[in-house]
Amino acid sequence: MKSFNDWWKTVPEDLRSKSYNGDEANKPMLNQVNDVLLNLHLAGRDDAKPTHEEIRDWLHSGQVGVLRVSAK
């Protein structure tokens, strides 16, 4: 099973930049991952998408966040 970072390195640079540009200091968010998955699907690159188990692992292990809580 791939980690998020291992998978992220395989994502084309233009998609990484588009979905995560300016937010690199924060943990990747599920909506950013979903944006990349949609673009990979539309490009016919289903081979580049992670498995359901990998995404679930990323969420449960904290590699990818669901909500961003701002510090006050």
pLDDT digit string, tens, across residues 6-50: 999 999 999 988 887 777 788 888 999 999 999 999 999 999 999
Say if residues 15 and 50 touch (Cβ distance below 8 Å): no
According to the model, what pLDDT value does residue 21 have? 79
According to the model, what pLDDT value does residue 52 have? 95
pLDDT greater than 90 at residue 72:
no
Q: Quick one: which of 61, 64, 57, 62 has its CA closest to 36? A: 64
pLDDT band at 71; cut points 50, 70, 90: low
29 DSSP β-pair partners: 65
pTM, 2 dp? 0.83
- Cα–Cα distance for residue pair 24/27, rounded to 1 Å: 7
- Cα–Cα distance for residue pair 28/60, rounded to 1 Å: 13
Q: Quick one: which of 5, 71, 2, 64 has its CA closest to 33? A: 64
